[in-house]
Amino acid sequence: MRSLANVNLIINQLFSFSFSLVFSCGAKAAEMALMKLNSLSFQSQLHPSFGLPPTANPRSPKIVMASTLRSSTSPKEAEKLKKPFTPPREVHVQVTHSMPPQKIELFKSLEGWAEENILIHLKPVEKCWQPQDFLPDPASDGFYEQVKELRERAKEIPDEYFVVLVGDMITEEALPTYQTMLNTLDGVRDETGASPTSWAVWTRAWTAEENRHGDLLNKYLYLCGRVDMRQIEKTIQYLIGSGMDPRTENNPYLGFIYTSFQERATFISHGNTARHAKGHGDLKLAQICGTIAADEKRHETAYTKVTEKLFEIDPDGTIMSFADMMRKKISMPAHLMYDGKDDNLFENFSSVAQRLGVYTAKDYADILEFLVGRWNLEKLTGLSGEGRKAQDYVCGLAPRIRRLEERAAARAKQASTVPFSWIFDRKVDL
Ligand SMILES: [Fe+2]
Ligand SMILES: [Fe+2]
């Protein structure tokens, strides 16, 4: 499945890796790292969402460094990677605080605006659904009967669907990582853990709303009896321990673009698992996934509104941030997932999601196109020369991604089957 696009990608990464090392580490360190390079393998980017070859980033040679380095040579090193408390298995050179400090004031000045325009997208707790609304009630006499019915319905659903639903659940369950990520952002982070600023109120309430997603899916999957809960729980523990590497650089411009993209991606993904559940005759599971999707949509509305405001106040800075995120590619929040067994777990999960049409390369391009339209970027004015270049890049990117992915997909037709520990090592087609 290693397509020409992937080969190009590898060459690109190889080049930019050695190039950026010379810039960022000095000659000696570069030499040492280049020696080490011989023992590094570059993982092919199986998931179409990550299939676009990187372009050199003008902002910092550090940022273009290899995106998916993974050591595969020494058994000792491989063993080390599998230990639970090692650093993330896949990281980029960490760029921090890339927003000029004076722009922090801009976010402080937007607090009143955020209170009136963003906090309104939160739902009062008393009006929110809770996981219990969709699950058998353990305090009721009918509990066992309801569980039995749930399990009967789940019997009709194929393994491949459960692989995708489990991957989605694990992604939701790594919520501590996403709250951490939001609190890395300069100017909007929750400074105390109970800060009264609008940004902090939003982040905590957003997290509290999201927390119901993993809870609900986790409890459903536990009750359905179709999956290996212990393996799933291990995967969650590994994932939270690994964190994520979204390359948002403490920069709220990058952070809000990332969250705009991701909330829409999860809206699409949960919407599709709902559609499939309905197709398999499980209307209750369809309702579960559809309800979560509706939350994601509301969150997408809030985050795209923040970014829209940034385009209004600082079109140049925001369009360049958008282009920067797209050049780096939007990595999925659970891209570091591992179950203690499968070194390609995320890629394998993503391939199944792609094949079932739950989240695909086309969705990635569609989200980008949607955001370009949502923020009216083709008509954006008041840009510098660089800003106009960034505008051209993002406005022309979706068709380019589609073309590249179509070609890659045509080449990568050979089917393969892999076991997933989440379903007791039963095999599923990729
Ligand atoms: Fe969610
Ligand atoms: Fe979300």
Instruction: Report whether 173 belongs to an annotated binding site.
Output: no
Strand, helix or coil at 184? Answer: coil
Is residue 354 assigned to a domain? yes
Phi and psi at residue 165, in whole multiples of 5°? -65, -40
Q: In this structure, which amino acid lies at residue 197?
A: T
Ligand 2 center to residue 294 CA distance, Å? Answer: 10
Q: Which ligand is closest in space to the CA of residue 217?
A: 1
Query: Which run of H or of E encompasses 305?
Result: helix 283-313
The answer to whether 213 is a known catalytic residue is yes
304 in a domain, yes or no?
yes
| 263 known ligand binder | yes
Helix (H, G, I), strand (E, B) or coil at 245: coil
Tell me which residue has tokens 């599971």: 285
Residue among 111, 121, 129, 180 flagged as catalytic: 129
Annotated catalytic residue within 47, 276, 299, 335 = 299
Residue 422 lies in a domain: no
- Whether 199 is catalytic: no
pLDDT at 92: 80
Q: Note whether residue 76 is domain-resident.
A: no
Structural domain boundaries enclosing 248: 104-411
Q: What is the pLDDT along the chain (430 residues), one digit of tens a residue?
A: 333 333 333 333 332 333 232 223 333 333 333 333 333 332 333 333 332 323 333 333 222 222 333 434 455 555 555 555 554 566 688 899 999 999 999 999 999 999 999 999 999 999 999 999 999 999 999 999 999 999 999 999 999 999 999 999 999 999 999 999 999 999 999 999 999 999 999 999 999 999 999 999 999 999 999 999 999 999 999 999 999 999 999 999 999 999 999 999 999 999 999 999 999 999 999 999 999 999 999 999 999 999 999 999 999 999 999 999 999 999 999 999 999 999 999 999 999 999 999 999 999 999 999 999 999 999 999 999 999 999 999 999 999 999 988 887 777 766 799 999 999 999 999 9
Residues 6 or more apart whose CB falls under 8 angstroms from that of 178 comprise 207, 210, 244, 333
Q: What pLDDT sits at residue 11?
A: 31
Residues, CB-to-ion distance under 5 Å, ligand 2: 263, 266, 296, 299
Is 172 an annotated catalytic residue? Answer: yes
CB atoms within 10 A of CB 51: 23
State the pLDDT at residue 76. 57
Other C-beta atoms lying within 10 Å of the C-beta of residue 71 = 14
The token duo for 362 is 């086309």
Residue 113 annotated as catalytic = no
CA of 266 to the centre of ligand 2 (A): 6
The domain spanning residue 351 has which CATH number? 1.10.620.20
- Determine the pLDDT at residue 342: 95
Q: How far apart are CA 97 and CA 110, in angstroms?
A: 20
257: in domain = yes
Q: How many domains does the chain have?
A: 1
**Distance in angstroms (rounded) separating the CA atoms of residues 331 and 347:** 12
Asked whether residue 169 is domain-assigned, the answer is yes
93 domain-assigned: no
Q: Quick one: which of 361, 303, 46 has its CA closest to 178?
A: 303
Asked if the structure places residue 285 within a domain, the reply is yes
If DSSP states are collapsed to H, E and C, what string results for 189-229? CCCCCCCCCHHHHHHHHHHHHHHHHHHHHHHHHHHHCCCCH
Selected catalytic residue, list 190, 263, 300, 316: 263
